[in-house]
């Protein structure tokens, strides 16, 4: 094996010589990867969001006097291919950092890749708590509100409804399971007499809505906690409406207020569900109005939640590089920790203690307006306000992740 | 739970059974006559629901909806006929199952075409005009449309039954299902019959899709979501039996409804959520049915299938030219990492291509020489990957023993267990039992959060020590791939391999000369699974993480595509097919935004230019040239 090692060392040496010349004053390359073909409903608006951000930043002269160039790849919705794509971006394209991913298992695989290869990774979308907690590492930062944060945001309204018997329905994979676990835990803490009368775990994308809806109703719950999204949500809402099971019941539903999932429902939009979401046409802060106007001008279409997420991802990266004054990985990590930026959602911060951004979400009630679903009585919940205590976070997150 | 609740769930099951029946019945008819494993059946169904959506929203009203169902049925039937005429008719003479490759390409093209035409948002159609409400039954509300659906399945069943039993067309279909060569010999225009059958099957898929419009949004995931269900219905019912297909749909739908009705229960102090079983219920049913009744519920033993394909040449040892070429390729592969400074991605992609070669070769071993078409080969890949990964993560082993001992052992155990059941079946029933086992393994891994990491999988299994270096890991992959491929190749040329092919070509005669048919097949199954486990282990450490995708049916189908691309009837086909597929996908995904369609079109071109797979066709042409040279001028 000795000769193998020396050959390898020689090869690495060649690689080092080869790479030093390439780092001239060209554009700063940012790697971006996502499951574009598999999740187009969320990711097309997301792509438009980050493209717009890059165009705006470059029009203002770029960062550190250099233009930003995003090299974007489809990860084929598969962690194995995603790791290959990440390696390609790093080794062949020589990107300064990688960003993106949507599905949780892919996000986790790339999180671990970042740790192994010591590359900065900005996870834009994946929701699993593990990215910042159990599997967190010093190279990974995450923008979007995690599963736990989404559930925690809904708690005040859930408690205010004062319902005792709860039925739970969720897609049968980690996202659904951990959302339900968080819901049970948080509800029991504040309302010890709460009961969970039935649990339906449905195959992702294949919910047998009629039977599931009936099973929920047969358990005679006062409230329903729903984690279904996408096509499952549409089927669930329609069957539930036709069979009249939402009447006189409180429904608390995760993500259902996001245009990606709410818009397809049209007339079937349920009235008065307590949801997290993004009522893009009703938010009247000046920053957000400016964002919507620019977005509509650029794309001739309205934003979905993916749009600001994509925009803020690139905005964060640009600000971090500016603060770091370099594209050195260690300097960028130092810059990201505690990075504060003003976004269309308001000010956000990348928390030092777990690398989670405090970008929040809107909590409100679904309603039908002019044949389209939207949200009413909503408020913005800052993502920093609903975190567990720092001590608890430190217990879940590996120590070396904060070194 | 009350009796009323259970009865009501049984009614829900009846409506679902109709949907399920409509998904499967068209596939059953197509397969019965043409023996084509039509992967595009789900795509046709998806087109049905999209076309119905467009009719219902653009024309609108009762005519738009009900007329739309007729229009989509007819349009999808026409599309099916076109696929048969333009594409499949050209490749009926290709080796068995090669048509699967063509229909797989159709899946890719249709998927991107649908995205291009209808956009990326889910499209929830209107409710059925005249059936928007619900009626009270057993104190619960049942949607009127569901009641309508309960009757649609049996109605379609009756019409088809009449068509098959009473019309000339139906008699021809039944005759062709039993012995299509004889039908041809009796002067029936086979080309026309095949086209009509394909149109009928496609039309039924279109009808099924269109009828689903009020119940689920048209979306781009339907094609792949459904294809598994369709095969289950066909096989559980028994090939070619439409009554069986309805019975199968009914049983599966009722079992699922029951699981949902039971929900979370505590039995003997152990709480179990039955609704989680709906993830895999159909495959559990299929495994049980096939073990108990090898030809499905209402199927009969298949007659001898004479394929239209050119018979396979006996395997020949590589000649000097092939050996020389292989030597050069190997030399290039060995020195490739030395150029990694200028070509850093070559080792990264090279690792994936080599692993694909080993995966495809192990699958080819049972498919080609073994004649057992596994649709669940990813199970052994995944067992190897999880075995190796968990041995490191939970067992604290180091990389090499995990890779060389645990990965093959885990796959060996799985292959020995599942193979024992599978070799008792043959043909498509065997294929579907492997699929069922594969999906069962997948669903266990997918849900066993505490041990396998559930849907997120296992992360942090990077190779340790020297192997952490990419180039050195590449050499390890190269060494193990070459050893694995050479090992299986040696077995093919050994007496055992001769016996295996004898068993494949004629089990009866093989048994008569004293070969233990099942034992030989079982050993072959185990060998292939074990080698595949090594490929899985290599994959786990190459990626640093493992997810349930490594076991999913999608990877099994990728494997079949790799084998068919290379050529089923050549020993070296998969060594080319695996890397070729990986390279094509990697290149197109980067260059083209509609990469699925591009990949589909490239595969279609390969299918038409190389009707025996790339290596198979090249070998065929070489032979043809040699014969021509020998002929006197």
Q: CATH number for the domain including A195?
A: 3.40.50.2300
Helix (H, G, I), strand (E, B), or coil: what is residue A348?
A: strand
Hey, of A71, A79, A107, A110, which one would you mutate to test binding to chain B, going by the most B CBs within 10 A of its CB? A79
CA atoms of B340 and A202, how far apart (whole Å): 47
Min Cα separation B591/chain A (Å): 9
Last residue of a domain, one of B237, B253, B286: B286
Give me the CATH number covering residue B378: 1.10.3470
A202-235 pLDDT per residue, tens: 988 889 999 999 999 999 999 999 999 989 999 9
B313-320 LR contacts (CB < 8 Å, sep 24+) = B313/B569, B315/B369, B315/B492, B315/B493, B315/B497, B315/B501, B315/B571, B317/B493, B318/B572
- Residues A105, A47 within the same domain: yes
Question: Inter-chain contact A235–B547, Cβ cutoff 8 Å?
Answer: no
Looking at the structure, do residues A177 and A254 belong to the same domain, yes or no?
Answer: yes
Q: Is residue B6 part of a domain?
A: no
Tell me the two tokens of residue B409: 């052992």
Answer whether residue B75 is part of any domain: yes
Which of B126, B223, B260 is the mutation pick for testing A, counting most A CBs within 10 A? B260
Please tell me if residue B446 touches chain A, with a CB cutoff of 8 Å.
Answer: yes
Contacts of B279 (CB under 8 A, 6+ apart): A172, A201, A203, B443, B446, B447
**Residues comprising chain B, all counted:** 633
Report the chain B residue with the minimal C-alpha distance to residue A267.
B126
Kindly report, residue by residue over A294-319, the tens digit of the pLDDT: 999 999 999 999 999 999 999 999 99
Q: In this predicted model, what pLDDT tens digit does every residue of A335-352 receive, in sequence order?
A: 999 999 999 999 999 999
Interfacial A residues in 359-398 facing B (CB < 8 Å): none
| Planar angle of CA B584, B585, B591, nearest 5 degrees | 90
- Residues B316 and B450: beta-carbon distance below 8 Å: no
Taking an 8 Å cut-off on Cβ atoms, the answer to whether A208 and B260 are in contact is: yes
Whole-angstrom distance, CA of residue B581 vs CA of residue B313: 25
How close, in Å, is residue A385 to chain B by CA atoms? 28
- Closest residue, chain A, to B457 (C-alpha): A105
Question: CA-based angle B278:B548:B383, to the nearest 5?
Answer: 110
CB-based contacts of B560, cutoff 8 Å, min separation 6 = B97, B100, B363, B367, B373, B375, B377
Phi-psi region of A118 (alpha: psi -120 to 50; beta: other; left: phi over 0): left
**Which tokens is B460 given?**
């942090």
- Listed in sequence order, the residues at least 6 apart from B558 whose beta carbon sits closer than 8 Å to its beta carbon are B581
| Pair (A17, A89) in one structural domain | yes
**3-state DSSP call for residue B149?**
helix
In this structure, the answer to whether residues B260 and B349 fall within a common structural domain is no
Could you give the number of structural domains in chain A? 2
pLDDT of residue B140: 87
Domain co-membership, A368 together with A332: no
Mutate to test the interface with A, among B264, B275, B476, B588 (most CBs of A within 10 A): B275
Closest CA to B25 of B265, B322, B236, B268: B236
A6 touching B (Cβ < 8 Å): no
Structural domain ending residue among the three candidates B253, B286, B319: B286
CB-based contact B5 A11, cutoff 8 Å: no
> How many A×B Cβ pairs under 8 Å?
229
Two tokens, residue A46:
């997301």
With the C-alpha atoms ordered A70, A75, A79, A84, is the resulting torsion angle positive or negative?
negative
Residues of B in contact with A238 (CB under 8 A): 124, 127, 214-215
Do A236 and A369 fall within a single domain? yes
Whether B264 has its CB under 8 Å from any CB of chain A: the answer is: yes
State whether A8 and B471 contact (CB < 8 Å). Answer: yes
pLDDT at position B121, please?
87
Q: What is the pLDDT of residue B474?
A: 94
Q: Work out the mean pLDDT of chain A and round it to a whole number.
A: 90
Backbone angles phi, psi at B267, to 5 degrees: -120, 125
Tell me the residues of chain A between 111 and 140 that have a Cβ less than 8 Å away from chain B: 111-113, 115-116, 128, 130, 135
Question: Which of B456, B469, B549 to probe the A interface (max A CBs under 10 A)?
Answer: B456
Radius of gyration of chain A (CA): 22
B550 is a domain residue? yes
Q: Which helix (H) or strand (E) holds B98?
A: helix B98-118
- When pLDDT is cut at 50, 70 and 90, the band that residue A20 belongs to is very low
Q: Min CA distance, B384 vs chain A (Å)?
A: 15
Q: Is the ipTM of this complex over 0.90?
A: no
Please list every residue in chain A whose beta carbon sits closer than 8 Å to the beta carbon of residue B143: 210, 239, 242-243
> pLDDT, tens digit, for every residue of A112-154?
999 999 999 999 999 999 999 999 999 999 999 999 999 999 9
Of B9, B121, B460, the CB nearest to A211: B9
Query: Phi/psi class of residue B396: alpha, beta or left (left: φ > 0; alpha: ψ in -120 to 50)?
Result: left
Structure token pair of residue B106: 């159709």
- Closest residue to B120, CB basis, from A41, A234, A266: A41
Contact A104 B449 (CB under 8 A): no
A41-51 pLDDT, tens digit each: 899 999 999 99
Residue of B115, B120, B455 lying closest to A105 (CB–CB): B455
Task: Tell me: do A86 and A234 sit in the same domain.
Answer: no
Q: List the 57-96 stretch of B: residues with Cβ below 8 A of A.
A: none
Which stretches of chain B drop beneath a pLDDT of 50? Answer: none
Q: Are residues B360 and B249 in the same domain?
A: no
Residues in A 191-210 with any Cβ partner in B closer than 8 A: 198-203, 205-206, 208-210
Q: B141 and A243: CB-CB below 8 Å?
A: yes
pLDDT score of B276:
85
Contact between A74 and B457 using a beta-carbon 8 Å cutoff: no
pLDDT value, residue B167: 93
Task: Indicate if B349 and B260 belong to the same structural domain.
Answer: no
The span from the CA of B584 to the CA of A74, in Å, is 14
Q: Is residue B454 located within the same domain as residue B544?
A: yes
Quick check: helix, strand or coil at residue B332? helix
Whole-angstrom distance, CA of residue B287 vs CA of residue B232: 10
Tens of pLDDT along A282-298?
999 999 999 999 999 99
Closest CA to A277 of A358, A365, A346, A148: A365
Pick among B50, B344, B594 to test the A interface (most A CBs inside 10 A):
B344
Looking only at the bridges linking them, the beta strands covering A97-100 and A28-34 are parallel
pLDDT of residue A21: 39
Nearest CA in chain A to B123: A264
Is there a single domain that holds both residue A365 and residue A229? yes
CA distances A149 to A145, A172, A183, A374, A383, Å, are 6, 20, 11, 22, 7
Are A372 and A332 found together in one domain? no
Q: Do B475 and A4 touch (CB under 8 A)?
A: yes
* Domain membership of residue B240 as a residue range: 30-121+142-265+280-286
CA distance B65 to B48: 12
- Residue B135 located in a structural domain: no
Task: Compute the distance between CA of residue A169 and CA of residue A221 in angstroms, rounded to an integer.
Answer: 12
Across the interface, whether the CB atoms of B456 and A108 are under 8 A apart is answered yes
**Hey, is the C-beta of B279 within 8 angstroms of any chain A C-beta?**
yes
Q: Beta strands A97-100 and A121-123: pairing type?
A: parallel
pLDDT at residue number B307: 55
pLDDT at B633: 56
Whether B1 is covered by a domain: the verdict is: no
Query: Are A133 and A113 in contact, with CB atoms under 8 Å apart?
Result: no
Do residues B558 and B432 share a domain? yes
Q: Residues 561-600, chain B: which have Cβ within 8 Å of A? A: 585-586, 589-590, 595-596
pLDDT score, position A23:
45
A319 lies in the same domain as A268: no
| Among the listed residues B351, B363, B24, the one whose alpha carbon sits nearest the alpha carbon of residue B205 | B24
Q: What are phi and psi of B19, to 5 degrees?
A: -60, -45
Q: Does residue A21 sit in the same domain as residue A49? A: yes
Residue B100: what pLDDT?
84
Residue A94 structural domain: 2-146+286-360+389-402
Interchain contact, B263 vs A215, CB within 8 Å: yes
| Cross-strand partners of B123 | B218
Tell me what percent of chain A is helix, strand and coil, each rounded to the nearest 5. 45, 20, 35
By DSSP bridging, strand B545-546 and strand B458-459 are antiparallel
Identify the domain boundary among B286, B320, B336: B286
Q: Which residue of B has its CA nearest to A93?
A: B345
In chain A, residues with a C-beta closer than 8 Å to the C-beta of B13 are 211
Please give the Cα distance from B318 to B326 (Å, whole number).
10
The least confident of A178-187, A238-247, B303-312, B364-373 is: B303-312
Does the CB of A232 have a partner CB in chain B at under 8 Å? no
Q: Which residues in chain A (136-175) have CB-CB distances under 8 A to chain B?
A: 172-175
Give bridge partners of residue A250 from the DSSP assignment.
Answer: A223
Cβ B9–A41 below 8 Å, yes or no? no
Judged by CB atoms closer than 8 Å, whether chains meet at B263 and A198 is answered as yes
Q: Are residues A152 and A233 in the same domain?
A: yes
Number of domains in chain B: 2
On whether both A202 and A320 belong to a single domain, the answer is no
Residues 6+ apart with CB under 8 A from A327: A28, A96, A97, A321
Distance, in angstroms, between A272 CA and closest chain B CA? 21
Q: How far is B213 from chain A (nearest CA, A)?
A: 11
Residues of B within 8 A of A83 (CB-CB) are: 542-545
pLDDT of residue B481: 96
* Touching A: B residues 290-349, CB under 8 Å: 337-338, 340-342, 344-345, 348-349
| A244 near B CB under 8 A | yes
The whole-angstrom separation of Cα B431 and Cα B451 is 29
Chain A partners of B469 at a C-beta cutoff of 8 Å? 8, 12
């Amino acid at each position: 094996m000795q000769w193998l090692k020396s050959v390898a060392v020689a090869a690495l040496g060649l690689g080092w010589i080869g790479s030093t010349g390439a780092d001239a004053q060209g554009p700063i390359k940012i790697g971006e990867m996502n499951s574009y073909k598999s999740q187009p409903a969320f990711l097309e608006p997301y792509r438009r969001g980050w493209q717009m951000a890059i165009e705006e930043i470059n029009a203002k002269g770029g960062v550190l006097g250099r233009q930003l160039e995003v090299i974007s790849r489809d990860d084929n919705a598969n962690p194995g291919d995603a790791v290959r794509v990440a390696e390609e971006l790093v080794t062949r394209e020589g990107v300064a950092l990688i960003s993106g991913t949507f599905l949780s298992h892919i996000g986790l695989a790339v999180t671990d890749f970042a740790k192994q290869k010591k590359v900065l990774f900005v996870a834009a979308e994946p929701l699993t708590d593990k990215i910042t907690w159990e599997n967190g590492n010093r190279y990974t930062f995450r923008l979007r509100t995690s599963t736990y944060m989404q559930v925690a945001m809904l708690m005040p309204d859930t408690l205010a409804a004062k319902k005792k018997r709860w039925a739970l329905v969720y897609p049968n994979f980690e996202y659904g399971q951990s959302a339900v676990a968080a819901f049970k835990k948080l509800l029991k803490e504040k309302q010890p007499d709460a009961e969970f009368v039935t649990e339906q775990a449905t195959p992702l994308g294949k919910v047998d809505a009629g039977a599931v809806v009936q099973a929920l109703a047969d358990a005679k719950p006062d409230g329903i906690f729903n984690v279904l999204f996408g096509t499952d949500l549409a089927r669930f809402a329609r069957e539930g409406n036709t069979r009249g099971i939402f009447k006189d019941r409180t429904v608390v539903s995760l993500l259902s207020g996001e245009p990606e999932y709410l818009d397809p429902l049209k007339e079937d939009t349920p009235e008065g569900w307590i949801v997290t979401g993004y009522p893009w046409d009703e938010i009247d802060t000046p920053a957000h109005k400016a964002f919507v106007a620019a977005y509509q001008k650029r794309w001739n279409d309205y934003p979905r939640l993916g749009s600001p997420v994509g925009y803020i991802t690139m905005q964060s990266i640009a600000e971090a590089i500016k603060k770091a004054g370099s594209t050195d990985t260690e300097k960028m990590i130092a810059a990201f920790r505690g990075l504060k930026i003003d976004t269309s959602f308001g000010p956000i911060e990348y928390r030092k203690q777990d690398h989670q951004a405090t970008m929040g979400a809107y909590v409100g009630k679904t309603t039908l307006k002019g044949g389209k679903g939207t949200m009413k009585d909503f408020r913005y919940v800052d993502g920093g306000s609903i975190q567990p205590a720092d001590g608890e976070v430190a217990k879940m997150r590996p120590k070396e992740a904060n070194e | 739970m009350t009796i009323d609740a259970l009865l009501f769930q049984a009614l829900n099951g009846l409506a679902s059974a109709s949907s399920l029946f409509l998904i499967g019945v068209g596939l059953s008819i197509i397969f019965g006559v043409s023996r084509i494993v039509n992967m595009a059946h789900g795509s046709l169904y998806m087109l049905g629901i999209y076309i119905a959506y467009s009719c219902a929203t653009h024309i609108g009203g009762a005519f738009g909806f009900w007329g739309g169902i007729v229009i989509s049925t007819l349009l999808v039937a026409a599309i099916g006929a076109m696929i048969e005429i333009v594409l499949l008719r050209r490749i009926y003479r290709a080796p068995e199952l090669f048509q699967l490759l063509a229909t797989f390409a159709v899946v890719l093209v249709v998927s991107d075409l649908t995205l291009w035409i209808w956009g990326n948002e889910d499209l929830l159609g209107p409710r059925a005009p005249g059936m928007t409400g619900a009626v009270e039954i057993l104190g619960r509300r049942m949607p009127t449309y569901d009641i309508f659906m309960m009757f649609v399945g049996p109605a379609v069943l009756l019409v088809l039954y009449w068509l098959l039993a009473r019309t000339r067309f139906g008699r021809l279909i039944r005759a062709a299902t039993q012995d299509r060569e004889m039908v041809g010999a009796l002067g029936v225009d086979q080309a026309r019959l095949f086209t009509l059958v394909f149109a009928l099957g496609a039309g039924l898929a279109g009808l099924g899709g269109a009828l689903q419009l009020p119940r689920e949004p048209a979306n781009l995931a339907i094609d792949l979501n459904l294809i598994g269900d369709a095969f289950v219905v066909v096989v559980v019912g028994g090939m070619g039996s439409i009554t069986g297909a309805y019975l199968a749909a009914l049983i599966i739908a009722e079992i699922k409804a029951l699981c949902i009705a039971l929900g979370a229960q505590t039995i003997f102090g152990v709480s179990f959520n039955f609704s989680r079983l709906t993830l895999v219920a159909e495959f559990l049913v299929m495994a049980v049915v096939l073990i108990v009744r090898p030809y499905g519920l209402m199927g009969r033993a298949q007659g001898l299938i004479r394929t239209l394909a050119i018979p396979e040449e006996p395997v020949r040892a590589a000649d000097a030219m092939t050996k020389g070429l292989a030597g050069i390729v190997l030399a290039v592969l060995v020195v490739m990492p030395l150029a990694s400074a200028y070509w850093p991605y070559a080792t990264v992609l090279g690792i994936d291509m080599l692993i694909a070669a080993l995966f495809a070769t192990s699958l080819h071993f049972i498919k080609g020489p073994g004649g057992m078409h596994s649709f669940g080969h990813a199970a052994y890949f995944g067992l190897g990957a999880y075995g190796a990964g968990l041995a490191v993560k939970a067992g604290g082993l180091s990389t090499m023993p995990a890779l060389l001992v645990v990965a093959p052992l885990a796959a060996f155990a799985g292959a020995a267990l599942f193979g024992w059941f599978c070799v008792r079946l043959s043909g498509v029933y065997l294929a579907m039992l492997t699929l069922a086992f594969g999906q069962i393994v997948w669903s266990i891994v997918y849900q066993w959060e505490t041990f396998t990491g559930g849907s997120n999988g296992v992360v942090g299994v990077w190779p340790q020590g020297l192997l952490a270096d990419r180039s050195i890991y590449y050499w390890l992959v190269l060494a193990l791939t070459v050893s694995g491929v050479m090992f299986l190749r040696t077995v093919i040329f050994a007496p055992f391999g001769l016996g295996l092919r004898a068993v494949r070509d004629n089990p009866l005669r093989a048994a008569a000369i004293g070969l233990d048919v099942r034992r030989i097949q079982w050993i072959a199954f185990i060998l292939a699974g074990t080698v595949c486990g090594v490929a899985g282990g290599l994959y786990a450490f190459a990626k640093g993480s493992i997810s349930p995708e490594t076991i999913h049916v999608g990877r099994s189908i990728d494997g079949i595509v790799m084998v068919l691309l290379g050529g089923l009837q050549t020993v070296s086909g998969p060594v080319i097919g695996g890397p070729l597929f990986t390279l094509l996908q990697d290149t197109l995904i980067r260059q083209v935004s509609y990469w699925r369609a591009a990949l589909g079109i490239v595969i279609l071109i390969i299918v038409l230019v190389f009707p025996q797979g790339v290596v198979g066709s090249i070998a065929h042409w070489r032979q043809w040239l040699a014969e021509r040279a020998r002929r006197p001028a």
